[in-house]
Structure 1
Amino acid sequence: MEKEESAKWTKVEEILQKAEKKELIGLIQELYKHSVGDRMLINSRYLGEGAKQEMNTMLEKYRKIIKEEFLTEKKLAKIHYSVAERAISDYSNASGDFVGTLDLMLTYVEEGVQFARIFGVIGDEFYDSIEGMLDRLCEQLKTKEGQKYYPLFRERLLKAGTGLENIGWGFEDAICILVADIEEFFEERFEEDKNDT
Structure 2
Amino acid sequence: MSQSTLKEGKKKPSIPEIKKALKQYEKDALITMLVDCYKSSKDVKNYIHVLLHPEDATQELYENARKQIENEFFPLKGYGKLRLAKAKSAISEFKKLSNDELRTLDLMIYYVEQGVDFTVTYGDISEAFYSSMESMYTSVLNKIGDSVSKRALFNARLLKIVNDTDGIGWGFHDYLAGEYYEWASSEED
Shorter-chain TM band = 0.5 to 0.7
Q: Which runs of 4+ in 1 moved over 6 A?
A: 72-75
Change beyond 3 A, Cα 1:74–1:137: farther
Cα offset, 1:101, TM superposition: 0.8
- The answer for the alignment partner of 2:131 in structure 1 is 128
Determine what percentage of the aligned residue pairs are the same residue.
33
Aligned residues: 139
- Picking from 44, 48, 70, the partner of 2:73 is 70
Change beyond 3 A, Cα 1:77–1:152: closer
Pairwise CA RMSD of aligned residues?
2.4
Change beyond 3 A, Cα 1:137–1:172: same
- The answer for the alignment partner of 2:173 in structure 1 is 172
- The answer for the alignment partner of 1:29 in structure 2 is none
Q: How does 1:101-120 map to 2 (within 5 A)?
A: 101-120=104-123
Matched, 1:89 2:92: yes
* 2:116–2:164 Cα contact (<8 Å) kept: no
Query: Is there any run of 5+ residues in structure 2 with no aligned partner, and where?
Result: 1-50
Change beyond 3 A, Cα 1:84–1:77: closer
What do the CA deviations read for 1:101-130 (whole angstroms, capped 9, x no partner)? 111101101111111122231111110010
> TM-score, normalization: structure 1?
0.63
* 2:134–2:176 Cα contact (<8 Å) kept: yes
Provide the rounded CA distance (Å) in 1 between the counterparts of 2:91 and 2:112: 12
Cα offset, 1:75, TM superposition: 9.2
Change beyond 3 A, Cα 1:110–1:136: same
Q: How does 1:176-187 map to 2 (within 5 A)?
A: 176-187=177-188
What do the CA deviations read for 1:49-75 (whole angstroms, capped 9, x no partner)? x52232112111101111111117899
* 1:62–1:88 Cα contact (<8 Å) kept: yes
> TM-score, normalization: structure 2?
0.66
Query: Is there any run of 5+ residues in structure 1 with no aligned partner, and where?
Result: 1-46, 189-197
Provide the rounded CA distance (Å) in 2 between the counterparts of 1:114 and 1:159: 11
- The answer for the alignment partner of 2:143 in structure 1 is 140
Higher-helix-fraction structure: 1
- The answer for the alignment partner of 1:37 in structure 2 is none
- Picking from 43, 53, 56, the partner of 1:53 is 56
Matched, 1:98 2:109: no
Change beyond 3 A, Cα 1:77–1:154: closer
Provide the rounded CA distance (Å) in 2 between the counterparts of 1:151 and 1:103: 13
Cα offset, 1:141, TM superposition: 0.8
Q: How does 1:25-44 map to 2 (within 5 A)?
A: none
